[in-house]
Amino acid sequence: MMPGHAGEVVAQLVVHGQQAVAKNRKRILSTDGFRVRKCRACGKPSGRLYIGDSDQYAKWKKLADPQIIGQWIGRSPIDFDVTAQILIFTKTKQRPDMSNAYQGIEDAMQRCGVLEDDRLIRNHNDSEWAKDKDDPRIEVTLRKWIED
């Protein structure tokens, strides 16, 4: 991998609300749109099963996505390598799992058209977390990645 450094700022986003982590408390769902139901006759699950988002993460997506889209409207997805600074402000002093926290906001940026692919994030410079019980949020700054 070629060394590089952060260049000009290409995006700054703020998502208000307590983030829920994508990987915690997944649930098993069936394709009929409900939680797993069992056949009354044989006891086997009905419908095709899949792993779905937790209720908390689904609620966070409904909160976060409109905020991200509103800040990015009219712009094309970023299609080049970037470095990300992600500042996570939580309601409590409980330390979040940072890699899972990064994944949630990165997936949201891809889903909402900020990033063409979240694999374009080369590193997380100066990312950190802090407590702010009155205004939990995520602040993201993306900078263009410049190869040295």
The reported pTM is 0.80
48-104 pLDDT per residue, tens: 666 667 778 888 899 999 999 999 999 999 999 999 999 999 998 887 788 888 989
Q: What are phi and psi of 91, to 5 degrees?
A: -70, -30
Q: How far is CA 142 from CA 21, 45, 53, 128, in A?
A: 21, 44, 26, 15
CA proximity to 13, closest of 60, 83, 71, 75? 71
CATH T-level fold of 4-25+55-147: 60s Ribosomal Protein L30; Chain: A; (3.30.1330)
Radius of gyration of the chain (CA): 18
17/135 Cα distance (integer angstroms): 7
Q: What are phi and psi of 19, to 5 degrees?
A: -75, 140
Domain ranges of the chain: 4-25+55-147
